[in-house]
Amino acid sequence: MKTKKTLIPIITLCAALSLTACSGSGSATTESSQKNQTEATTEAADNSNTKLDDLYQQENQIFADHADVWNKVFGMMNKSSADPSGDYADYLAGAVESNKESFTDDELKTLNDDIETIRQIEKQISEIENNNTGSESADQNDSSEEITPFKSFSGKDFDGNSVDESLFSNNAVTVVNFWFTGCKPCVAELSKLNELNDAIKSMGGEVVGINTETFDGNEDAIKEAAAILDSQGAKYRNISIDSDSNIGKYASDIMAFPTTILVDRNGNIVGDPMLGGIDDQNNYDTLMKQIQSVIDADK
């Protein structure tokens, strides 16, 4: 099941800094103008984030209202021919269409009605995010180079220990699994991920979990996630990250859970993300082959 979190950073404008070179009687007026501009910018950003929060909650409530049938859909996504890189409503529609024989007529009507509602919500989300992106672009350096989401990586494991980029540089391959607590397919594969972690340790690999509900050090969410990991016998590291970090923004674009990616020693993502749980033996075998390829390349 998809959960969405507000990952739009608060926008701050620095254009007023060019005025600080002036001094004398005009300084008080300049400072007042800067203060008013900053307050207006912060208020606009807060309003934008509030609207996004509300839209995300509306979308998640749709899934909650019809949880039984949507959980069926999310459990089938790894078998779907739908493209997860496109429009979210189209992605959901593609997943339903690819597996429509698995649903009753009433279930299909519920899913299709929900998808049309989600499509309208996504349009509103896109408009807000596009406006925010346009505002942020003035503060960004132009660059044609693709930046790995793991650049300047930092976080804390569930025991409170700090984690940085050395997590990746110390491993030939790092298997990063994105999940969240209410996702049944995510929980179902935790014990298998722990088995995978044990299997690749001697090969120079490690499994790391990122629970999207534990962003920004959410203590309640961390406690709940840790309890589930313990109940499934999963002892590999899970990390809480900041929502406005590069990897936090990357995670916000994930459309289906669980999603698993491979990261090399340099922090680069290798290959395509794997959608669906590795408790499916075919998925597990495929992932192991990919892991071996990254390890061989590292040698």
| pTM exceeds cut of 0.85 | no
Burial class of residue 112 in the structure, from the number of CB atoms within 10 Å of its CB (0-12 exposed, 13-18 middle, 19+ buried) = middle
User: Which of the pair, 115 or 53, is modelled with greater confidence?
Assistant: 115
Cα–Cα nearest to 54, from 136, 129, 135, 121: 121
- State the virtual CA torsion across 68, 94, 291, 166 in degrees, nearest 10: -80
168 closest CA partner among 34, 40, 294, 14:
294
**C-alpha pair distances (Å), 160 with each of 17, 99, 209:** 38, 42, 15
Pick 192 or 7 by higher pLDDT.
192
> What's the CA gap between 142 and 132, in Å, rounded?
17
pLDDT at 160: 94
Angle, alpha carbons 14-19-20 (nearest 5°)? 90
- Mean pLDDT for the stretch of residues 276-284: 89
Mean pLDDT of 147-168: 90
